[in-house]
Amino acid sequence: MPPTLFGVAVIVFVLLRVVPGDPIAMMIPPGASEADIVRLRALYGLDQPILHQFVTWFGQVASGDFGRSISIRQGVLDLLLTRLPATIELSLLAALIAVAIGVLAALAGILSRGRRAEWAVDGTVGVLLAIPDFLWALILLLLFGVLIPWLPISGRIDPQVEIGLRSNFYLIESLLTGRFDIAFALLHHMILPALALALPFAAIIARLLKASLAEAEDQDYAQIARARGYSRPAILLHEVFPNALIPTVALGGVQVTLLLGGTVLVERIFSYEGIGNMAIDAVINRDFPLIQGLVLTFAVMFIALNLAVDLIVALLDPRLRHG
Amino acid sequence: MMSSLSRRSILQLAGGAATLPLVSGLLGEAAHAAAGTLTIAYNVNLPSFDPTVGLSAVNPTIQSIYQSVFDPYIGQAPDLSFKPGLLTKWGWNDDRSKVMLELRKGATWHDGSPVTAEDVVWSLQRAADPKGGNPIQFVWSKVGNYKIDGNTITGDVLEFEPTLFKWMAFLTGYILPKAYYEKVGAEGFEKAPIGSGPYKVDAFERNAFLRLKAHPGYWGGKPAFETVVFKFITDPTSRVAEMESGGSDLTFEIPYEEFDRLKSKPGLVGQTKPVSDIAMIFITDIDPMLDRNVRLAANHAIDKKAIVDRLLKGYGVPISTLEAPGYAAFDPSIKVSYDPELAKSLLAKSGYSPDKPVKFTIQTTRGFKPKDYEMIQAIVGMWRKVGIDANIEVYEIAKHFELRARHALAPAAFYNWGNAIGDPSTSTGFAMFGPSPHCAWKGKDLVERIGPLWGEKDEAKRIAGYKAVSKYIAEEGEVIPLFQYVQPIIHKKNLKVVAQSSGMILPQLITPA
């Protein structure tokens, strides 16, 4: 993990300073002189050579100090720790919805195998996959926010609600502490962005799982169970499904990173207060310390997710578990 | 042991899952503004609460929020004129060697403590500190050695700055609480800011919303709405959806097509206001723009009215100089006509024609301002007809700033220039004065003409001087002013909204209809 993160840190640091546009250029007002620009560059340490800047920054990161955001004027780590829980909760909810929809669609598809209903399921899954998450976000926003205005379309919670929670994991804490009014208000706001993120991912799960189910269903053990008189749905669920799950988790798990990447635009569209939304502002403002912190955070999450997927596959697959 | 699971039960489960969001919606809270609450779908996030330091301090779009929480030294009326704010009197002495400020009596901070002359002096000194990070420090540092006598403050003019008092109404011109700031520090102030403005901060969820409550001790009287919510909805489509869903009471900066559609909906009202922001094309003094005929032809070949009518649905005011109507040095007598035949003849004098066009690059943003790219496409089409073959290069606004500061823009570059204090020095002055890093035309002709106006102490003479400079620039074609932007505002019918020429949306000026 450390070499990967170091590589990411080097790439993002150098790229930010090579591409045109820096925070000082965004900051200088009419009337600023060359001397004012020099003064501001020095104030933010941007007058130093890139290598010197990198060594200083990386040294700070190694000691847990991600620097100070130029635009927000707060510690980057504090900002990340404040906003990251919102993105994690949204991603978890989206993953849950995706798994639910994906598994149901795969089961519906396999149960209707060889019939017209299978085309309908496959067609629906194809549509879910073909439309990217940000487009789903806009569709859902217009559908449930405007056409049938049943759900809120902005924010993480209604501004009138007094939250009063200790952590920034609002949903998890409110559920654990029995504050279901808050949990309900949060879910109410999270459903649309979570659904937008979930639908393409659900389609991936459905496709992978259905293919695995079809392959596993043709195996001898499934045919023997059928010959013994067990119903097909029961065989699918109890015999075929656990075996089909392993390749689905192995391949689909990696795709969770796409879901995480999708939070950037989806959070923006729904004005959701996660790190994805913050990332866009950071880029617009050329807030170098914040962008660097965000990229490193995403990198850590991607690596952790891949690791988690490997562990889950190992747990599910006895061949891997027992060497 | 296997349980029996039928296809029917699986489909029932799927159906149940699909209806969850709908059930949730029916049970959930209605997306309507609570009574006594004004909800504004706002177009940018609020990065920082300190209105005097860093990037957000010079972002004009954020000033509406700052002016809800903090008081500027001097107030500004909707027409850009200046009026008493926390300072009730201000001015120079006769020889412009001293400034005199008089603080309003009875104003209080949100924690109930009084606003004092010490707060004013501390705010001015902090703004002038080169290490303080105030981007407008170069203005504030021109006065010092403040002395306090009751509610009156005097200061020595270290270098005459004619726009000093105008800046006191705008960017970074805010009074902050000395004692509170020193007690909580910069980080503490960001977490729990207090000001002396009409609203105090009640709750802030970064990138989501800011909730304000009316300041009961506000010197200007209690505002009409007890609670104001700024929802940070940066995506224009989402802001439109917010209005259609009833989730917000007011929004602005939406596409003109959507504005026209929304304003015809029952329960909604649309209003427009020309604001202190103009579209323009910088001309850089490099080949082929060193040829006066080419510059003038590029000016005369553009049908600004057609661009406004067709691309901006009529929401724009064509202009001929960088001074828009309402600015102190606006001169309606200066006209740059749309005359393609004149453009052709000018180009012919330099040996160019539609068959043998002059070639150069024009840079533009795409999506940064309404129809920016489409506008440049239209202009390039107009130019082609008279003998100008321009190649469009799209770049990000950050790249524009950097190229401009390095004097490395293409011969033509689209930009928008805001000037909320309406002073010619902050439009024509900084945009066309060679030594300024914001200037693309570095010619000595303008340095000689604008230079003496910086320190001109006779205000009438200074304004007349800028009018003369604007006339000269128009005659030489050294910049291409296009039009003044018009701000579209959509709000519920039950509101009365006072639109500002500065483009600010101030909740304290919004009342029930």
B168-209 pLDDT, tens digit per residue, is 998 899 999 999 999 999 989 999 999 999 999 999 988 889
Is pLDDT of B8 > 60?
no
Instruction: For residue A61, name the pLDDT band (cuts at 50, 70, 90).
Output: confident
What's the mean pLDDT in B234-243? 90
**DSSP secondary structure code for residue A29 in this structure:** P
Rounded CA separation B483/B503 (Å): 15
CA end-to-end span of chain B, whole Å?
Answer: 70
Rounded CA separation A193/A94 (Å): 8
- Provide the 10 A C-beta neighbour count for residue B380: 17
pLDDT of residue B35: 59
- In chain B, the residue whose alpha carbon lies closest to the alpha carbon of A155 is B208
Helix axes A288-316, A256-269, angle to 10 degrees: 140
Instruction: For residue A322, name the pLDDT band (cuts at 50, 70, 90).
Output: low
What is the ipTM metric for this complex? 0.79
Rounded CA separation A301/A92 (Å): 13
For every residue of A243-268, DSSP letters joined together read HHHHHHHHHHHHTHHHHHHHHHHHHH
Give A141-145's long-range contacts (Cβ < 8 A, gap of 24+): A141/A192, A141/A269, A141/A270, A141/B237, A141/B238, A141/B241, A142/B241, A144/A192, A144/B21, A144/B25, A145/A192, A145/B241, A145/B242, A145/B244, A145/B245, A145/B247
For chain A positions 2-41, those within 8 Å of chain B (CB to CB) are 20-23, 25-34, 36-37, 39-40
Instruction: For residue A150, name the pLDDT band (cuts at 50, 70, 90).
Output: confident
Q: Does residue A248 or residue A105 have the better pLDDT? A: A105
Instruction: For residue A309, name the pLDDT band (cuts at 50, 70, 90).
Output: confident
Judging contacts by C-beta atoms under 8 Å, the chain B residues touching residue A74 are 187, 190
pLDDT of residue A241: 86
For chain B positions 431-460, those within 8 Å of chain A (CB to CB) are 431, 435-438
Question: Which amino acid makes up residue B95?
Answer: D
CA dihedral A303, A95, A289, B401 (to 10 degrees): 120
- In chain B, the residue whose alpha carbon lies closest to the alpha carbon of A97 is B17
Cβ of residue B402 closer than 8 Å to a chain A Cβ: yes
- In chain A, the residue whose alpha carbon lies closest to the alpha carbon of B46 is A72
CB atoms B207 and A273 under 8 Å: yes
pLDDT of residue B3: 41
Instruction: For residue B333, name the pLDDT band (cuts at 50, 70, 90).
Output: very high
pLDDT in tens, B427-476: 999 899 998 888 899 999 999 999 999 889 899 999 999 999 999 999 99
Cβ of residue A184 closer than 8 Å to a chain B Cβ: yes
SS3 content of chain A, % helix, strand, coil (to 5): 75, 0, 25
Out of A27, A153, A273, closest to residue B205 by CB: A273
Is pLDDT of A308 > 90?
no
- Give Cα separations from B367 to A104, B239, B364, B380 (angstroms): 41, 16, 10, 18
What's the mean pLDDT in B99-124? 96
Out of B24, B209, B246, closest to residue A155 by CB: B209
Out of B203, B235, B401, closest to residue A25 by CB: B401
What's the mean pLDDT in B295-301? 97
What's the mean pLDDT in B401-410? 87
CB atoms A156 and B208 under 8 Å: yes
CB atoms B50 and A82 under 8 Å: no
CB atoms A108 and B186 under 8 Å: no
Distance of CA B88 to the CA centre of its chain: 25
pLDDT of residue B449: 95
pLDDT of residue B103: 97
pLDDT of residue B155: 96
Note the pTM of the prediction, 2 decimals. Answer: 0.83
Cβ of residue A124 closer than 8 Å to a chain B Cβ: no
- In chain B, what percentage of residues exceed pLDDT 70? 93
Is pLDDT of A195 > 50?
yes
CA end-to-end span of chain A, whole Å?
Answer: 23
For chain B positions 55-74, those within 8 Å of chain A (CB to CB) are 55-56, 58
Judging contacts by C-beta atoms under 8 Å, the chain A residues touching residue B235 are 268-269, 271
pLDDT in tens, A252-303: 777 888 888 899 999 999 999 899 999 998 988 888 999 999 999 999 888 8
pLDDT of residue B2: 40
pLDDT in tens, A219-244: 888 888 888 888 888 888 888 888 88
Judging contacts by C-beta atoms under 8 Å, the chain B residues touching residue A21 are 396-399, 401-402
Is pLDDT of B123 > 90?
yes
For chain A positions 239-298, those within 8 Å of chain B (CB to CB) are 267-274, 277-278, 280-281, 285-287
Average pLDDT, chain B: 90
Judging contacts by C-beta atoms under 8 Å, the chain B residues touching residue A272 are 207-208
